[in-house]
A and B are shown apart, each in its own frame.
Chain A
């Protein structure tokens, strides 16, 4: 009556699955600097926490007596595990088996429409996609006997889209990916690519060569330089796979398990009342001179907690997750090292980040030093107005509190995007702050042209008017009028922010759940 033979068979088949695509394929994969999907999953998760689902799925062949003679595992490995003790769903293609292409079962294990997506959706837990697959293959037409319209069967992406509204989704591009898996990678709240071994494109070099006669390497077409730094198709770059796993764990440490929860608070060893003297003179007296905004942020946030999203794309704005007294905040800061001017890329990056924070109940802090939107023919051709106003539109749809620290410039449409007009409209300024619809230097000639031209010494008159206006532009005058809510000693910024971030936590708890927004983005 014992089932020991069958039980033994379960274990034997698991062993077969763990061999992936066989010793030869695995060693080739390792030689290319890549870990197998099971090794990757094991390293992303808390040690020993992986519980695999569907390990026995694959293609088997049997002899006449019904004994298994050959088994090829399904080229997708998935299951659940824990990161920092919290449950996550995780899966990835097994590149060592037919380059991670689908295996044609009625139910897909992972990728768009796969079981692991359904699990993340039903259980309301984060999903981690480790992408290393080349997508569809023409061999499925032969198997099926007919061809299908895109979005057929499991391939519709509707579950991937559902997930974007309820649980954190992370994509890591860990090999060369095209087509469906590429699209799957994009449907994430945060994505990362492993430098050198990762490439992503709509279609690879052979297709591009056929279409345009242009010969490109896969790195030129979709390596990190293009996909991350230039296009912002993916968010961050990892130096290697270990760095990738570290960054995935780090990103998720700032996010709640789903939108019905608040982000996890951390113990904070960094004193709340740490007032750094360096903040008193970090802003140069000349508004032409740049300074290190990342250093400024590091002096204010809890030590070692700044985690930049899209650090190499649209660099005139810095977007980072961070903590203040252990509570998660989203930081948006203009970067004077890149002029601080919002160009079309920076605007796109800012809008996306603001929406990400709003969705996961992360309050926002703007550190404003922005002279305006990028001007000029090239910028107009890049739709700067549309991109810039879209960032503003997204900012006006958020329901998390937004805090503004004006450290220097705050001008124009871009400056307005740093202000919480929808909420409390709470702005604090440093003595180095200046603001307006446009900087005095550019505006005087246009506004007072007739008066200047009529003066006996036009150049002198222009200087005089500039001087008058500059006196009026003192932030103390605005603070007297309560048109900026506070003007503070820069060294107090950390304790000031920590206390308000703590005080707004009750508000965050009142709006848990998905956020639905009406309207059409410009």
Chain B
């Protein structure tokens, strides 16, 4: 049927595609994989374009929903980037005065 190719086969290996068996996986990668399964990685995005005005949190900080991570200056306003989830700051990806685009990931949290 027209238009149906490519649908309904997500995750399947395409015929002819090369696929390596997992024999080469090292112990380390297995551990990382496990972490990904148990810890949810939460990307915190800026909803607006602007520049970083203040960085309010550091890696290791425990945050609750509604807490501010970063303040962006945009349109002469100081606009907080807030987490909607509870979690621990893993990484802050911007520093003061950095330009930030709408949708840009500015920090990573782990729950």
Residues of A within 8 A of B (CB): 28, 31-32, 286, 288-290, 292, 295, 315, 336-341
Residues of B within 8 A of A (CB): 1, 4, 7-8, 47-48, 66, 74-80, 82
Chain A residues lying within 8 Å of B82, measured Cβ to Cβ, are: 292
Q: Which residue of B lies closest to A288 (CB)?
A: B78
A31 engages B74 (CB within 8 Å): no
A337 engages B79 (CB within 8 Å): yes
Chain A residues lying within 8 Å of B4, measured Cβ to Cβ, are: 28
Chain A residues lying within 8 Å of B1, measured Cβ to Cβ, are: 28
Distance in angstroms from A321 CB to nearest chain B CB is: 22
A28 engages B47 (CB within 8 Å): no
The answer for the CA separation of A290 and B82 in the assembled complex, in Å, is 11
Chain A residues lying within 8 Å of B76, measured Cβ to Cβ, are: 288, 339
Chain A residues lying within 8 Å of B47, measured Cβ to Cβ, are: 315, 337-338
Chain B residues lying within 8 Å of A338, measured Cβ to Cβ, are: 47-48, 79
Known: A315-B47, A337-B47, A338-B47. A290 touches B77 (CB 8 A): yes
Distance in angstroms from A230 CB to nearest chain B CB is: 11
Chain A residues lying within 8 Å of B80, measured Cβ to Cβ, are: 290, 337
Identify A339's interface contact among B7, B8, B66, B79, CB under 8 A: B79
The answer for the CA separation of A22 and B82 in the assembled complex, in Å, is 50
Chain A residues lying within 8 Å of B77, measured Cβ to Cβ, are: 288-290, 336, 339-340
The answer for the CA separation of A153 and B30 in the assembled complex, in Å, is 65
B79 engages A336 (CB within 8 Å): yes
Q: Which residue of A lies closest to B53 (CB)?
A: A288
A31 engages B8 (CB within 8 Å): yes
A32 engages B78 (CB within 8 Å): no
B75 engages A339 (CB within 8 Å): yes
Chain B residues lying within 8 Å of A340, measured Cβ to Cβ, are: 77
Distance in angstroms from A404 CB to nearest chain B CB is: 22
Q: Which residue of B lies closest to A439 (CB)?
A: B76
A339 engages B74 (CB within 8 Å): yes
The answer for the CA separation of A394 and B76 in the assembled complex, in Å, is 29
The answer for the CA separation of A292 and B65 in the assembled complex, in Å, is 12
Distance in angstroms from B11 CB to nearest chain A CB is: 12
Chain B residues lying within 8 Å of A339, measured Cβ to Cβ, are: 48, 74-77, 79
Q: Which residue of A lies closest to B80 (CB)?
A: A290
Distance in angstroms from B102 CB to nearest chain A CB is: 10
What are 7 sample pairs from A and B whose C-beta atoms fall under 8 A apart? A290-B77, A315-B47, A336-B77, A336-B79, A338-B48, A339-B77, A341-B75
The answer for the CA separation of A511 and B78 in the assembled complex, in Å, is 44
Distance in angstroms from B26 CB to nearest chain A CB is: 35
> Nearest 3 CB-CB pairs, A to B?
A339-B75, A31-B8, A290-B79
Q: Which residue of B lies closest to A134 (CB)?
A: B3
Chain B residues lying within 8 Å of A289, measured Cβ to Cβ, are: 77-78
B8 engages A290 (CB within 8 Å): no
B78 engages A28 (CB within 8 Å): no
Distance in angstroms from B67 CB to nearest chain A CB is: 12
Chain A residues lying within 8 Å of B79, measured Cβ to Cβ, are: 290, 336-339
The answer for the CA separation of A6 and B75 in the assembled complex, in Å, is 73
Chain B residues lying within 8 Å of A337, measured Cβ to Cβ, are: 47-48, 79-80
Chain B residues lying within 8 Å of A290, measured Cβ to Cβ, are: 77-80
Q: Which residue of B lies closest to A289 (CB)?
A: B78
The answer for the CA separation of A288 and B1 in the assembled complex, in Å, is 58
The answer for the CA separation of A290 and B77 in the assembled complex, in Å, is 7
The answer for the CA separation of A290 and B74 in the assembled complex, in Å, is 10
Known: A292-B82, A337-B47, A338-B47. A28 touches B8 (CB 8 A): yes
Given contacts A31-B8, A288-B78, A338-B47, 16 further A-B contacts (CB under 8 A): A28-B1, A32-B8, A286-B78, A288-B77, A289-B78, A290-B77, A290-B79, A290-B80, A337-B48, A337-B79, A337-B80, A338-B48, A339-B74, A339-B75, A339-B77, A341-B75
Chain A residues lying within 8 Å of B75, measured Cβ to Cβ, are: 339, 341
The answer for the CA separation of A338 and B47 in the assembled complex, in Å, is 8
The answer for the CA separation of A28 and B78 in the assembled complex, in Å, is 50
